[in-house]
Amino acid sequence: MQRRVVITGMGVVTPIGNSVKEFWEALLAGKNGVNPITLFDASGHTTRFAAEVKDFDPSPVLSPLEIRKMDRFCQFAVYAADEAIRDSGLDLERINLDRAGAIIGSGIGGIISFEKQHEILLTRGPRRVSPYFITLMITDIAAGHISIRYGLKGPNYATVSACATASHAIGDAARLIRYGDADVMVTGGSEAAICPMGVAGFNSLKALSTRNDDPAHASRPFDKNRDGFVLGEGGGIVVLEEYEHARKRGARIHAELNGIGFTADAHHITAPAPGGKGAVHAMNLLIKNAGIDPEDVDYINAHGTSTPYNDKTETEAVKTVFGDHAYELNVSSTKSMTGHLLGAAGGIELVASVLAVKHNIVPPTINYQEPDPDCDLNYTPNEPQERPVRVAISNTFGFGGHNASIAVSKIQ
Amino acid sequence: MSLEEKIKDIIVERLGVAPEKVVPDAHFIEDLGADSLDTVELVMAFEEEFDVEIPDEDAQNITTVKSAVEYLGKKMQNSDN
């Protein structure tokens, strides 16, 4: 019989709260995480707002020296992992750490450190580049730090697939548990790319909203007047555990992770395939993989970036997969509140999906004001909705044409 | 501020150690909890602060507070001439 995978721990750092409790309260309150950029002087940038993490204080978890040796993305990862491990109630001195691993992805990695050290290279010369530059910057280092910190000696690496990164990490981790390589996996994603190069690059790509006169309403997924995504930052990490391993230690189980669908569009580096073909294929794979009926799905935490193309195409894909049931289930984009956390999106959005399943409440899509004829599903506009949530799907799609969908359900 | 005090300040800041631990015989790795990359960073900080160039073959001998003070003292004297 196939080994089952459950979620026993969760941790987040987000633009609307730096713990799972704060995050969930903010999601249900429809809190807006978007603000004028404070992390650098953005006065020369086309977009001058973002969804920044507020009041982040890593000092309860990291020493000043550790903080200096970790890029912001890595600090988010370790901080969120710490919450997730505490939440799981795992006693790391009693479990077999050879069978516990970590897969932590980041879409971009330590770009803030890259920028700073590149400036040092240009102004003060190559001999002044920090000996920590490489280990500040490389994307896999968050998984490395977490393994060292907690003694996790099982599988350890990073995934990189732009905005699908965290979902690939979590899906891979679940499969390693299913295949018997590990019993416990700490997994998810983190991102910190709100910096001059990050914003300039996404601006040049014409991906970001430029609603500078009204940032609070800039992230408006599925609304007719959406004009691009809002760059966010943070980390979302879960503890996955083999079901019997969790049951034997009397763990509190949040939900079961039972479906994974990974595909590619094979179409264009940034534009989604017409009709969302790759996304359709990913959701269909997930349904088959989970052994569920499409009608069992009550909630889709959409990729819903608030770009004109994504939201239209994702809507088409959901309708193709679910037919009439597409109008029965709830869809929402929590990016309306958090902005787009890129490689961390799949992490915090899986946490939101788990909480929806656990509490039978669907978090809303805020800033939904004018319906778009191309987007005609129930997007849970502006207010959370109570309803039974048996299965929730978290969709993530990344530049490069990567699609990753993950399903979570109530534990049976 | 004397050269020795400046060096001590840099060590306290870079290695995140208490000032009273930075005694002349304190070894960066064995006594002050540094790893090999920390010592590289420390030498770079000395170069930056005192505007000198410390070749790798000299850097590997700067392992204690005292050796740093002595080395930089000589180096600064030479550069004054």
| CATH number of the domain residue B29 falls in | 1.10.1200.10
What does the pLDDT read at residue B77?
Answer: 85
A283 and A154 co-located in one domain: no
Report CB contact under 8 Å: A132, B47: no
Nearest to A146 by CA among A61, A88, A87, A257: A61
Query: Residue A98 forms beta bridges with which residues?
Result: none
Each residue's pLDDT tens digit, B39-50: 999 999 999 999
Report CB contact under 8 Å: B44, A64: no
Report CB contact under 8 Å: B16, A128: no
Residues A76 and A234 sit within 8 Å (Cβ to Cβ)? yes
Rounded distance, CA B45 to CA A242, Å? 48
Smallest CA–CA separation between A131 and chain B, in Å?
6
Rounded distance, CA A5 to CA A176, Å? 10
Q: Which of A248, A273, A301 is the last residue of a domain?
A: A248
Each residue's pLDDT tens digit, A244-301: 999 999 999 999 999 999 999 999 999 999 999 999 999 999 999 999 999 999 999 9
How many contacts, defined by CB atoms under 8 Å, are there between A and B?
20
A62 and A119 co-located in one domain: yes
Question: Does any domain span residue A255?
Answer: no
Each residue's pLDDT tens digit, A212-240: 999 999 999 999 999 999 999 999 999 99
A125: which DSSP letter? -
Percent of the residues in chain A that have a pLDDT greater than 90, as a whole number:
99
Angle at alpha carbon of residue A326, lines to A324 and A330, rounded to 5°: 140
Band of pLDDT at residue A21, cut at 50, 70 and 90: very high
What does the pLDDT read at residue A170?
Answer: 98
The ipTM (two decimal places) reads 0.86
Full-model pTM:
0.96
Q: Which chain B residue is nearest to residue A125, measuring alpha carbons?
A: B48
CATH number at residue A276: 3.40.47.10
pLDDT above 70 (res B80): no
Band of pLDDT at residue A1, cut at 50, 70 and 90: confident
A197 and A60 co-located in one domain: yes
A152 and A221 co-located in one domain: yes
* Given B35, B38, B51, B80, the catalytic residue: B35
A309 and A228 co-located in one domain: no
Rounded distance, CA A299 to CA A362, Å? 7
Residues A392 and A243 sit within 8 Å (Cβ to Cβ)? no
Q: How far apart are the first and last CA of chain A?
A: 16
Smallest CA–CA separation between A276 and chain B, in Å?
48
Contacts of A386 (CB under 8 A, 6+ apart): A360, A361, A362
β-pairing verdict for A184-191 and A49-50: unpaired
A180 and A294 co-located in one domain: no
A90 and A119 co-located in one domain: yes
Written as one letter, the residue type at A62 is L
A291 and A171 co-located in one domain: no
A170 and A79 co-located in one domain: yes
Residues A364 and A319 sit within 8 Å (Cβ to Cβ)? no
Mean pLDDT of A145-171: 98
Band of pLDDT at residue B81, cut at 50, 70 and 90: low
Written as one letter, the residue type at B66 is K
pLDDT above 70 (res B32): yes
Contacts of A104 (CB under 8 A, 6+ apart): A77, A81, A142, A143, A146, A158, A169, A186, A187, A188, A189, A190, A237
* Chain B residues with beta carbon closer than 8 angstroms to that of A127: 44, 47, 53
Q: Which of A205, A221, A248 is the last residue of a domain?
A: A248
What does the pLDDT read at residue A263?
Answer: 98
pLDDT above 90 (res B1): no
Question: Does any domain span residue A256?
Answer: no
Range of the domain at A337: 261-409
Phi and psi at residue A135, to the nearest 5°: -80, -10
Range of the domain at B63: 3-80
Nearest to B37 among A127, A128, A132 (CB): A132
* Chain B residues with beta carbon closer than 8 angstroms to that of A68: 16
A302 and A211 co-located in one domain: no
Mean pLDDT of A21-35: 98
Written as one letter, the residue type at A215 is P
Instruction: Tell me whether residue A340 is one of the annotated catalytic residues.
Output: yes
To the nearest 10°, report the CA torsion of A146, A162, A260, A302: 110
Query: Residue A240 forms beta bridges with which residues?
Result: A7, A185
**How much is the mean pLDDT over chain A?**
97
Q: Count up the domains in chain B and report the number.
A: 1
Mean pLDDT of A65-82: 96
A121 and A266 co-located in one domain: no
Rounded distance, CA A8 to CA A169, Å? 17
Instruction: Tell me whether residue A217 is one of the annotated catalytic residues.
Output: no
How many residues are listed for chain A in this entry? 412
pLDDT above 60 (res A405): yes
What does the pLDDT read at residue B78?
Answer: 79
Rounded distance, CA A255 to CA A301, Å? 15
Rounded distance, CA A278 to CA A283, Å? 9
Percent of the residues in chain A that have a pLDDT greater than 70, as a whole number:
100
Instruction: Tell me whether residue A303 is one of the annotated catalytic residues.
Output: yes
pLDDT above 70 (res A183): yes
